[in-house]
């Protein structure tokens, strides 16, 4: 007679119960509004992406995805709020590179541990920067830029919208890869940086495409190169820095969803799958495209690897530049 193994029965029932619980939980989530924390003021790139997400995910989830702006400390205030919130899936973060990949190296003290307190869920969108100069500049391409720096014997400067941001670190990466010297001039935002570039007070600027595009189209600024590996749909005729003699150069202003550590895998997978499902939606694509961005969903494991690579890259650049936020 075959003996009945109670241990195997217990394990089997436990597995079925766990599977059933996760399935029921996934089906019931969300059963109330979800807070989407944006750690920057309204109107910026991250805020625009957040509101595009809310418009598309709320009908799918049959619950409101409420965008809440919690700016301050380079994004740390909003990110800390999420890191310390209940891991139930009802408070999530839309992060830029700053909060998880740059600030841990930029700030001497962080209110949260980005690598432990926040779990990557999905990359959402990606936007390049564009290297621009005043239209009166002799610089028309990357070769001209190198010659200009040589002629000036390093007496050249570049603007950024603030110390330690992607615009600043794009300049630092270029300095490192080209082995050249340039002086960083930080501004309090992209608008004043563009104003001084137009006025001839600075030589070049790694700008966000949307604020630079009207001046490029009017002929007051000249676009030299794109900072990502792929060209921008908004500037399809402008080459990338990578294809202009610096293979692998890649600085992107991306956004991604993070949740507090301890959030269930079922919630993580549900949110990631939802984001992927809207990536081909025409109106969603058009909203992002107007910001110079494209949908770029990555599932949790791949996104976690991406974040780790970004953190390593920016840690090196911050250290080399000597940048400090406090």
Average pLDDT over residues 282-293: 92
* Cβ-based neighbour number of residue 10 at 10 Å: 10
Mean pLDDT of 288-293: 90
C-alpha atoms less than 13 angstroms from C-alpha of 269 in its C-beta half-sphere: 8
What pTM did the predictor assign?
A: 0.86
- Per-residue pLDDT of 30-54, as tens digits, reads 999 999 999 999 988 899 999 999 9
pLDDT of 249 strictly over 90: yes
Question: Which band of pLDDT confidence, cut at 50, 70 and 90, is reported for residue 154?
Answer: confident
Residues in the chain: 326
pLDDT at 5 over 60: no
- Average pLDDT rounded to a whole number, residues 107-130: 97
User: What are the φ and ψ backbone dihedral angles of 206, each rounded to 5 degrees?
Assistant: -85, 95
Within 10 Å of residue 18's Cβ, how many Cβ atoms? 10
Q: What is the pLDDT of residue 22?
A: 39
Q: What is the pLDDT of residue 291?
A: 86
Asked whether residue 4 carries a pLDDT value surpassing 50, the answer given is no
d(CA 181, CA 176): 9
Q: Which helix (H) or strand (E) holds 319?
A: helix 300-321
Mean pLDDT of 140-152: 94
Give residue 44's pLDDT.
86
CA R_g for the chain: 22
Confidence at residue 27, expressed as pLDDT on a 0 to 100 scale: 61
Mean pLDDT in residue range 241-269: 97
Closest CA to 242 of 225, 255, 259: 225
pLDDT of residue 188: 86
Mean local confidence (pLDDT), 132-142:
97
Q: Which of 135-139, 143-147, 208-212 is predicted least confidently?
A: 208-212
* pLDDT of the residue at 34: 98
Question: Using CA of residue 94, residue 96, residue 101, residue 106, what is the dihedral sign?
Answer: negative
For 151-164, what is the mean pLDDT? 90
Task: Give 12's pLDDT tier (boundaries 50, 70, 90).
Answer: very low
Average pLDDT, the chain: 91
Q: Kindly list the structural domains of the chain, giving each domain's residue range(s) and its CATH number in brackets, ordered by start.
A: 30-127+253-321 (3.40.190.150), 128-244 (3.40.190.10)
Q: Which of 54-58, 90-94, 117-121, 320-324 has the lowest mean pLDDT?
A: 320-324
Q: How confident is the model at residue 92 (pLDDT cuts 50, 70, 90)?
A: very high
- Strand pairing class (34-38; 65-69): parallel
What is the share, in percent, of the chain residues with pLDDT greater than 90?
A: 83
pLDDT at 19: 39
Q: Mind listing the pLDDT tens digit for each residue in 48-83?
A: 999 999 999 999 999 999 999 999 999 999 999 999
**pLDDT greater than 50 at residue 9:** no
Q: Give the pLDDT of residue 326.
A: 64
Q: Identify each DSSP E strand in 167-316 by its residue range.
A: 183-186, 204-208, 221-226, 252-260, 294-298
- pLDDT above 70 (res 190): yes
């Amino acid at each position: 007679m075959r003996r009945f193994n109670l241990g195997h029965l217990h394990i089997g029932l436990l597995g079925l119960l766990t599977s059933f619980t996760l399935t029921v939980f996934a089906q019931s989530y969300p059963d109330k509004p979800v807070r989407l924390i944006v750690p920057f003021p309204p109107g910026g790139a991250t805020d625009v992406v957040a509101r595009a997400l809310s418009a598309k995910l709320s009908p799918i989830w049959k619950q409101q995805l409420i965008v809440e702006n919690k700016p301050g400390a380079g994004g740390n205030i909003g990110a800390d709020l999420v890191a310390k919130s209940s891991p139930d899936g009802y408070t999530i973060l839309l992060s830029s590179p700053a909060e998880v990949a740059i600030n841990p190296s930029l700030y001497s003290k962080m209110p949260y541990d980005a690598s432990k307190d926040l779990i990557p869920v999905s990359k959402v969108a990606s936007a390049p920067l564009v290297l621009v100069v005043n239209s009166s500049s002799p610089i028309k391409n990357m070769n001209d830029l190198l010659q200009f720096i040589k002629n000036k014997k390093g007496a050249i400067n570049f603007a950024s919208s603030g110390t330690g941001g992607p615009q600043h670190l794009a300049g630092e990466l270029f300095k490192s890869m080209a082995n050249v010297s340039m002086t960083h001039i930080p501004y309090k935002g992209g608008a004043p940086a563009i104003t001084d570039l137009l006025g001839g007070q600075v030589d070049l600027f790694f700008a966000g495409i949307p604020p630079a595009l009207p001046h490029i189209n009017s002929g007051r600024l000249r676009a030299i190169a794109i900072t990502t590996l792929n060209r921008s749909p908004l500037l399809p005729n402008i080459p990338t820095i990578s294809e202009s003699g610096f293979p692998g150069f890649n600085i992107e202003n991306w956004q991604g969803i993070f949740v507090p550590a301890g959030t269930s895998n079922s919630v993580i997978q549900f949110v990631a799958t939802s984001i992927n499902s809207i990536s081909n939606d025409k109106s969603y694509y058009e909203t992002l495209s107007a910001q110079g961005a494209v949908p770029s969903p990555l599932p949790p494991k791949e996104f976690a690897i991406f974040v780790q690579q970004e953190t390593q890259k920016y840690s090196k650049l911050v250290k080399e530049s000597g940048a400090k936020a406090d």
